[in-house]
Amino acid sequence: MTRRLVGAVAAAVLVGAAWGCGDDGVDQTPTPIQPQPGFDAGVDAGTDAGVDAGIDAGTDAGTDGGTDAGTDGGTDAGTDGGTGGGTDAGTDGGFATGVGDPSLWPTEAQVNYTQKFGLGTVRDVGIDEGYNIWLLNGGSVGVLRPGDTRPNWVSGLGQAGRGFSSTVICGGAPGRAYVGYAASYNDIPGGQFIYSPDGCDFEGGYTNCDPSRYSAERFQEYQQGDLDIVRMGTDNAPKLEEHIWRNVTNNPFKQATGLRNTNDHHFDEDRSVYSCVRAMRGPAKGDVFIGTNHGYTRISGLVYNSHRHPIWYTADKSQRAGYAYGIGIAQDGDVLMATDWSVGTVSPIGDLKTWDREADATLNPEKIKNRQVLELNSQEDFDFWRGFEQTKDGRYYLGSKDYGLWRLKDASDGARLADAHGERIPGAPSNIQSLAATDDGSLFIGAGDGLYRMDANKQITRVSGLGGDIKRLVYDPTVTPSMLLVLSGGTLYVLRGY
């Protein structure tokens, strides 16, 4: 099956390869076949089941997320400040504490922040633990502190200065944010395994080394897309802190070369970032989780573990992952994962090193594992999940860009949550792009035609005073009254008190 993409590229195909993730052998993640100029995180960038182009049944490189296979030379290419306009496109100078006073934000029930603070166009938004609001528009990153009258924008930081298209932004610790980018392509010609300067091969257990296998040009593939970490400078403008590179199993850190597999750093599977969320409750509180073209990565400060993912298998045992657009945090802190195909949950009770260790179910238990809502489509067809949330009453909801709002059945329905049976919610919009569960028991539904609220009594109404194209909902319950950031067609609104 081949399908047409909207906005980004024309088509997608399946590319066969040997992969380094998981305990299950071959992994196939379909991808666009050409670059993605002007990528919009709200537009589906392709997870086509495709026509099988040949599968290399190679050996899985590293089945334990805590073992780093091989050693590397150590070329540092990870903190390019880039070029371009703006206040400061480098990493020179100090960083501000980033701690703001949230009482300085407007407390009215609904405020148009774009109008009030002169934000300009905003394509994605986040808020950090210091209550600074982070803004993203193409190659520019902005920050608006509590008490500011205007944001500070900077252009050309990091990957933006190298020409990559930004996708998402999430706040982290006070004064820190994470900026995701799309790679020019997700499937590397010749496969995702990249030889280090020593030329050792995973199929030989890294004992059959041949430096002639190394390609400096291919090694630069690690620099595609990925994630920049930015900080608020002492001048209150965004500065590049560093391009992500600190893999949790590298001790000492081996190479400043971007986001790579934690179970074997030779593999570059996570190349484009499509979603992100900061955990504001639960055992992973303060950590940031990102969804990529291949799975879900956990980040603590500057250090990451990549990755895990809900998957399914074809009849010939090849693995299907799907692009990770849907991501949420449950009421107890579970990480909620929803790709174009599959859904899953993870209780992140283990430390950062154990995030990718799926073989030991006691480390990061899964209430739902590798499931599909069978009432919706066949396994091979896309469900196009764009949001996954749990409301205060414990119910789980999924939002699809094509198939509306779905609730997962549980014991109250005489069903097992782990089986992921679902029912469609009548009265909800069909073209859902984002979801947010709030502490008053509501579920806010961001759709192409506007913002909807399903209250604690499960009544759905449209929220007035906003436009359509609700690409992003970010909820922060740690401030009183709570804040719901709503991105509507490039305009930022903030709702309080839900």
Question: Which of 402, 373, 398, 376 minimizes the C-alpha distance to 387?
Answer: 398
Return d(Cα 351, Cα 479) in angstroms, integer: 27
The per-residue pLDDT for 291 is 98
Tell me the residue type at 84.
G
For residue 114, give the H/E element and its range: helix 113-117
Segment 12-20 mean pLDDT? 34
Segment 219-233 mean pLDDT? 93
Give the count of beta carbons closer than 10 Å to the beta carbon of residue 203.
11
The per-residue pLDDT for 170 is 99
**Residue 470: both structure tokens together:** 């609700």
**Residue with the larger pLDDT of the pair 63 and 234:** 234
The per-residue pLDDT for 134 is 99
Return d(Cα 494, Cα 451) in angstroms, integer: 12
Q: Give 318's contacts (C-beta < 8 A, 6+ positions apart).
A: 16, 26, 27, 28, 52, 55
pTM of the model: 0.83
pLDDT band of residue 255 (cuts 50, 70, 90) is low
Question: Which of 55, 57, 56, 5 minimizes the C-alpha distance to 33?
Answer: 5
Q: Note the pLDDT tens digit of each residue in 140-187.
A: 999 999 999 999 999 999 999 999 999 999 999 999 999 999 999 999
Return d(Cα 138, Cα 127) in angstroms, integer: 18
Ordered by start, the domain boundaries in the chain are 12-333+341-359+485-496, 372-484
Question: Which of 133, 164, 136, 165 minimizes the C-alpha distance to 147?
Answer: 133
Segment 271-283 mean pLDDT? 98
Q: What is the DSSP string of 383-422?
A: --EEEEEE-TTS-EEEEETTTEEEEE--GGGTS-GGGT-E
The per-residue pLDDT for 63 is 34
Indicate the range of 57-66, 153-162, 373-382 predicted with least confidence: 57-66
SS3 263: coil
Q: Note the pLDDT tens digit of each residue in 429-442.
A: 999 999 999 999 99
**Residue with the larger pLDDT of the pair 21 and 442:** 442
The per-residue pLDDT for 347 is 96
Return d(Cα 352, Cα 286) in angstroms, integer: 12
Q: Give 152's contacts (C-beta < 8 A, 6+ positions apart).
A: 87, 142, 143, 144, 235, 236, 237, 238
The sign one gets for the Cα dihedral 29, 33, 35, 40 is negative
Q: Give 348's contacts (C-beta < 8 A, 6+ positions apart).
A: 279, 282, 283, 284, 287, 298, 333, 334, 335, 355, 364
Indicate the range of 131-135, 212-216, 487-491 predicted with least confidence: 212-216
Which regions of 172-225 does DSSP assign to beta strands (E)? Answer: 176-182
Listing from the earlier edge strand, what are the strands of the sheet with 470-476?
110-112, 491-496, 483-488, 470-476
pLDDT band of residue 196 (cuts 50, 70, 90) is confident
**Residue with the larger pLDDT of the pair 290 and 259:** 290
Q: Cα-flanking dihedrals φ and ψ of residue 167, to 5°?
A: -125, -55
Segment 433-455 mean pLDDT? 99
Return d(Cα 308, Cα 286) in angstroms, integer: 19
**Residue with the larger pLDDT of the pair 61 and 411:** 411
Res 251 pLDDT > 60: no
The sign one gets for the Cα dihedral 397, 345, 227, 102 is positive
**Residue 83: both structure tokens together:** 């070029």
H helices present in 149-236, as ranges: 158-161, 216-219
Q: Give 139's contacts (C-beta < 8 A, 6+ positions apart).
A: 84, 155, 156, 160, 161, 166
Are the beta carbons of 200 and 206 closer than 8 angstroms? yes
**Residue 100: both structure tokens together:** 């703001």
* 252: preceding bond cis by omega (within 30 degrees): yes
Return d(Cα 130, Cα 183) in angstroms, integer: 30
Are the beta carbons of 322 and 342 closer than 8 angstroms? yes
**Residue with the larger pLDDT of the pair 184 and 90:** 184
pLDDT band of residue 254 (cuts 50, 70, 90) is low
Res 262 pLDDT > 70: yes
Segment 226-251 mean pLDDT? 93
Question: Which of 241, 323, 443 minimizes the C-alpha distance to 30?
Answer: 323
**Residue with the larger pLDDT of the pair 74 and 134:** 134
Res 473 pLDDT > 60: yes
The per-residue pLDDT for 20 is 54
Indicate the range of 75-89, 217-231, 425-439 predicted with least confidence: 75-89
Tell me the residue type at 309.
H
Q: Considering the domain 372-484, what is its CATH architecture?
A: Single Sheet (2.20)
pLDDT band of residue 392 (cuts 50, 70, 90) is very high
SS3 471: strand
Q: To which residue do tokens 């609104």 refer? A: 493
Q: Cα-flanking dihedrals φ and ψ of residue 419, to 5°?
A: -80, -15
Q: Tell me what the pLDDT averaged over the chain comes to.
A: 83
Question: Which of 368, 167, 400 minimizes the C-alpha distance to 273?
Answer: 167
